[in-house]
Structure 1
Amino acid sequence: MARGLTVLCWAVAAPGLLWATVRLLGVERGPLVQLLAFTPYVAAWSLVPVTLALALRRWWPAGVAVAAAVALIAVVVPRAVGGATDVEGPTLRVLTANLLAGAGDAETLVRLVRQHEVDVLAVQEFTPEAAARLDAYGLAGLLPHRELNPVVGTSGSGLYSRFPLTGTGVRENPGGFTQAYGTLTAPGAAPATVESVHPMAPYALGKLRDWERDLDGQPRATPGGPLRILIGDFNATLDHAPLRRLLSSGYRDAADAAGAGLTGTWGPYLPDRRHSSDRGPAIRRIAARITGDRIPPVTIDHVLVDRRVGVRDVSVLRLPGSDHRPVYAELALPRGDLRG
């Protein structure tokens, strides 16, 4: 009986240690890439082996469990604590939304832009039909400047702005998704290049190479030069090594800075049947496709900002018709010319 309890304690303690090791060393491979997105849940669960081993007085398993729990909690808890970083400078309000192949409710999205006085809107999975619906609900009057690449399906991208855009363009990731970008200058602020980010999702083992290559190919921050802001569906959490490498170039995650870094942005967010005016048979098929994805929400939509940019507020909103939740961030841009 005593031996069995010892084996039980080791059986529940060892997985947490392995998970913490993979996370800390950034060596996720194969199915571990997908699993690592759930690290916040594992961090919460890691207290169970500690409690069990201590209650049964199995000190070696308890020590291992404590080490794993401390490591996991240490990387997760700061996302809920934050401490918004502000700078003295003009405000820029940004919003990102994945439209689920154009199925996201256009009326709701335009209402969010109006309600939050959004200056920049980045959209992914952006289709010609979505572009037309957004303008029909008044987006052209709110955000008249744009760089758009609407595509039937999931590869389209768009960037809308209240302020004129220069240096605009659209680039295609190796994984196939496109990203619209442009440089804007808010009144009194330094110019900032904004990009609507959408790397390949690691939904299958055969896509992992494209996923990592797409993330590693994202524009690095230029701490001694122009400001960069990356907003969109990164298909990665803060527990994935490629996203952490991108952050280490000189970005901060706005939600993490604001203490909202544990709010899920993708998961079991099924299309809201109360909003059916914009949907047809194709969108119903998409809704059916995601109905089975009953997984705990994970945080894969982000606003990454140059570390010279302040973060005043971050909110995760709702968009009927999409399996993602939009992310809104109120930023503070530095003054002056930082073009280097």
Structure 2
Amino acid sequence: MTRLLAAIVIVGSAVIALVLAWPQLFGLAGMPGVAQIVALRGLGIAVALVLAVGLTILALLAAPARRFAASLAAVALAFALVNAAVLSVRGFGDFAFTTKGDSDVTVLSWNTLGDAPGAEEIARLALESEADIIALPETTNELGIDIALLMQAADRPMWVHTLAYDQESKARSTTLLVSVDLGEYSVDTATRTTAVLPTLVAAPVDGSGPTIVVVHTVAPLPPMEATWQQDLRWVADACDGENVILAGDFNATLDHITGLGVDGGDLGSCRDAALATDNAAVGTWPTQLPALLGSPIDHVMATPNWTVTGMRVIESLDKAGSDHRPILVQLSPAD
């Protein structure tokens, strides 16, 4: 009976490990609990390795439990190896940028946790990076104007657009700054987009530039999982044109958007900049964890008319006040 129970525990642990390591095989990437664990693959590797070492020591010291502990250690090690393989394919960071061309567009995206870094810090980063598009979830219109004034003083004038669902919580405001060199943009502030937190859609007035979508989906926390999945489907549908750039806080990793791409896209027709540049394993949230242990839930994505010619997650601002890291992406017109 003891051996039977041990076998059941070992097999059950192996099945659970497989589901958590690759939930897409079972269509469970959005399942409560699974969604949160798979979002933190790097942290999962660290935990699994600690368990594997502990169980190995137990197997060496306790002869009666040797086979049982060794088997569980093997399961934990296999879980860590599968996750490491997935992350290695996605890339642990390649921060190289090509020289920026006249037609290239630089996108800066940063969830500011309710204006936390302040206008000066955001403007400094935008000016240093020569950002043409600045996507700022959880950022008020007032801060957006302050940033624009600082950039105008540095001879980098920007249009400012904000979509706010209310004025009570800064998290329910999403702000976009776009360079006047890209032309004039219009935003429909009367239409609700994603359900709880606003996703801003900016269309070029003359129709010649990219449609810019500043994304902010709700987090997959109980009881919002269904709303979160609805938000992700809405964002996928938003990338149905020939010239679209998505940027912002998706509250989703590549695991969560499996099946939402069309025509070779990762989400709708859009392709993920981090995946294209070997940066998709670098975590953008939370800043309290090292980047390789965190969750890559902030993205810049674009339709195939753009080629990604540089991308990096900025780790030097982890103490700036936000719990998200900024991401910087350079896009070049595809040949």
TM-score interval, smaller chain: 0.7 to 0.9
The structure 2 residue matched to 1:121, chosen from 106, 109, 134, is 134
Deviation at 1:11, TM superposition (A): 7.1
Trace 1:137-148 onto structure 2 (pairs within 5 A): 137-138=150-151, 141-148=155-162
Which residue of structure 1 aligns with residue 86 of structure 2?
75
Q: How far, CA to CA, are the matches of 1:101 and 1:7 in structure 2?
A: 48
Deviation at 1:155, TM superposition (A): 0.9
Greater displacement, 54-63 / 33-42 = 54-63
Which residue of structure 2 aligns with residue 181 of structure 1?
201
Greater displacement, 40-49 / 157-166 = 40-49
Deviation at 1:65, TM superposition (A): 6.7
Q: How far, CA to CA, are the matches of 2:110 and 2:147 in structure 1?
A: 13
Q: Is the 8 A contact 1:124 1:196 kept in 2?
A: yes
Amino acid at match of 1:156: S
The structure 2 residue matched to 1:304, chosen from 275, 296, 301, is 301
Deviation at 1:44, TM superposition (A): 5.8
Q: How far, CA to CA, are the matches of 1:252 and 1:146 in structure 2?
A: 26
Which residue of structure 2 aligns with residue 101 of structure 1?
114
Relative contact order, higher structure (CA 8 A, sep 6+): 1
Trace 1:223-262 onto structure 2 (pairs within 5 A): 225-240=241-256, 242=257, 245-246=260-261, 247-262=266-281
Change in CA separation of 1:102 and 1:248 when aligned onto 2, cut-off 3 Å: closer
Q: How far, CA to CA, are the matches of 2:237 and 2:102 in structure 1?
A: 23
TM-score normalised to structure 2 length: 0.74
Unpaired segments ≥5 residues, structure 1 = 271-295, 336-340
The structure 2 residue matched to 1:208, chosen from 215, 225, 230, is 225
Which residue of structure 2 aligns with residue 31 of structure 1?
33
Change in CA separation of 1:312 and 1:103 when aligned onto 2, cut-off 3 Å: same
Q: Is the 8 A contact 1:254 1:314 kept in 2?
A: yes
Change in CA separation of 1:50 and 1:308 when aligned onto 2, cut-off 3 Å: farther
Q: How far, CA to CA, are the matches of 1:114 and 1:62 in structure 2?
A: 50
Change in CA separation of 1:143 and 1:239 when aligned onto 2, cut-off 3 Å: farther
Unpaired segments ≥5 residues, structure 2 = 61-65
Q: Is the 8 A contact 1:260 1:314 kept in 2?
A: yes
Which residue of structure 2 aligns with residue 281 of structure 1?
none
Change in CA separation of 1:181 and 1:75 when aligned onto 2, cut-off 3 Å: same
Which residue of structure 1 aligns with residue 143 of structure 2?
130
Q: Does 1:158 align with 2:160?
A: no
Q: Over aligned residue pairs, what C-alpha RMSD do you find?
A: 4.0
Amino acid at match of 2:311: V
Amino acid at match of 2:286: G
Write the deviation string for residues 193-237 of structure 1: whole angstroms up to 9, x where unpaired.
11100011123x1111211111111143767x5211100011111
Deviation at 1:30, TM superposition (A): 2.1
Q: How far, CA to CA, are the matches of 2:43 and 2:121 in structure 1?
A: 31
The structure 2 residue matched to 1:193, chosen from 197, 200, 211, is 211
Q: What percentage of residue pairs aligned between the two structures are identical? A: 28
